[in-house]
Amino acid sequence: MGPVRGSKKKRKIEKKPDENVSASSEMEGSVDWWHDLSRRMNGLQSPSKGLDKFKSVFRISRKTFSYICSLVKEDMMAKPGSFTFSNGKPLSFEDQVAVALRRLSSGESLVTIGDSFGLHRSTVSQLTWRFVEAMEERALHHLQWPSTNAEMTEIKSKFEKIQGLPNCCGVIDTTHVMMCLPSADPASKVWLDREKNHSMVLQAVVDPEMRFRDIITGWPGKIDDWLMFQSSNFYKLCDKGERLNGEKFELSNGSEIREYIIGDLGYPLLPYLVIPYQGKELPEIIVEFNKRHSATRLVASRALARLKEMWKIIQGVMWRPDKHKLPRIILVCCLLHNIVIDLEDDDAQDEMPLSYDHDPGYRQRICGSFDINGVHLRDKLSLYLSGKLPPQSQIHGW
């Protein structure tokens, strides 16, 4: 049940997405296998209709599918064993990836997926798990904290364009993955959260393009956001000054605004984590800050909503999941979410609704803890956004 972090596991050095994959090499074999598979699948009878339906079946473009195949092929093909359809025909490697992606993207049961492909449910389960293991090994470079000043500068610039927050490096938020556990299950009470659901929580730090930069999952849904945050590697790195400790933003009065992330009232106010002001009848300057803060936080809400909408295996209620495997499935869904963004798969992204509601039915829990340095940082930000503390560059006419 241990937490999963994108930067924790050792991995081999991987190449970045190859933007120069030619359309011909990308599709040489895929047209044939998809032609055959689409005819085999229930509801996709004709080849022409099947080709048109590729995106609706797998939620991604064929370019992205080809790239994912290139990531996992070596590991998946190295494992012993062969798989066949009900008519005895062997599954190609692309067929195997297609089955796993369909399971993750549709959220349908093993039986439903098996029936639609003409496979036994155990085959669907094995193929999905092989794919998950290969993605863990080969795709982790798609989920990492910015490694260069240039990359972080670009992130901060894009956040500032949203609502003017300077030097912001990310937004943190959490969401619940629902589970169906019978009351007879010995672990049932452990996973029962405050809303009387069985759930596992995912906490993510998101960049302005809705890309996950750091995640932690595997904890029961009843854990408070701030406790989960304090158990994370992200918190430990920040607390030791090894993260969010880059270039500062200089103000006209000689003070500075350090790097930080923002979150809701479920988190403590820290020197590197800024939450909104709380209370009624607040001064106009604070009301304005809270509005800008809230509008910027929507980036994380949209990211988590899109994650669940696109990879529906974690959107609904998972039937008696293996609590040791579920965190790894959540991680792989986050990796796939990032790959779609990294490959600029506009077809996949355009299909997704602009939803913000990723955790319906869950009420905001308030932490209330604060660090005095966090108070000072938030006050400086609110003054800056009100125009009372312009940046140093404006004073010198830069």
pLDDT digits (tens, 9 = 90+) for 62-119: 999 999 999 999 999 998 888 999 889 999 999 999 999 999 999 999 999 999 999 9
Rounded to 5°, angle at Cα 130 from 124 and 131: 90
The predicted structure's pLDDT at residue 352: 61
List Cβ neighbours of 125 (8 Å cut-off, separation of 6 or more): 110
Rounded to an integer, what distance in angstroms lies between the CA atom of residue 31 and that of residue 46?
13
Q: Is the pLDDT of residue 61 over 80?
A: yes
Is 92 exposed, middle or buried (CB count within 10 Å of its CB: 0-12, 13-18, 19+)? middle
CB of 218 closer than 8 Å to CB of 331: no
Q: SS3 for the chain, per residue?
A: CCCEECCCCCCCCCCCCCCCCCHHHHHCCHHHHHHHHHHHCCCCCCHHHHHHCHHHHHCCCHHHHHHHHHHHHHHHHHCCCCCECCCCCECCHHHHHHHHHHHHHHCCCHHHHHHHHCCCHHHHHHHHHHHHHHHHHHCHHHCCCCCCHHHHHHHHHHHHHHHCCCCEEEEEEEEEEEEECCCCCCCCCCCECCCCCEEEEEEEEECCCCCEEEEEEEEECCCCHHHHHHCCHHHHHHHCCCCCCCCCEEECCCCEECCEEECCCCCCEECCEECCCCCCCCCHHHHHHHHHHHHHHHHHHHHHHHHHHHCHHHCCEEECCCCCCHHHHHHHHHHHHHHHHHCCCHHHHHCCCCCCCCCCCCCCCCCCCECHHHHHHHHHHHHHHCCCCCEHHHHCCC
Residues 210-251: tens digit of each pLDDT: 999 999 999 999 999 999 999 999 999 999 999 999 999 998
The predicted structure's pLDDT at residue 132: 98
Confidence of residue 361 (pLDDT cuts 50, 70, 90): confident
Query: Mean pLDDT in the chain?
Result: 87
Amino acid (one-letter) located at 12: K
Residues 384-397: tens digit of each pLDDT: 999 877 776 443 22
List Cβ neighbours of 54 (8 Å cut-off, separation of 6 or more): 34, 38, 61, 62, 65
List Cβ neighbours of 98 (8 Å cut-off, separation of 6 or more): 34, 37, 58, 65
Rounded to an integer, what distance in angstroms lies between the CA atom of residue 342 and that of residue 70?
15
Unique residue bearing structure tokens 């609590």: 323
Rounded to an integer, what distance in angstroms lies between the CA atom of residue 67 and that of residue 349?
16
Q: Give the residue with greater pLDDT, 349 vs 149.
A: 149
Q: Is the pLDDT of residue 13 over 50?
A: no
Q: Give the whole-number percent of the chain exceeding pLDDT 70.
A: 85
pTM: 0.89
Mean local confidence (pLDDT), 264-289: 95
The predicted structure's pLDDT at residue 6: 41
Rounded to an integer, what distance in angstroms lies between the CA atom of residue 345 and that of residue 64?
7
Tokens (6 digits) for 395: 């004073």
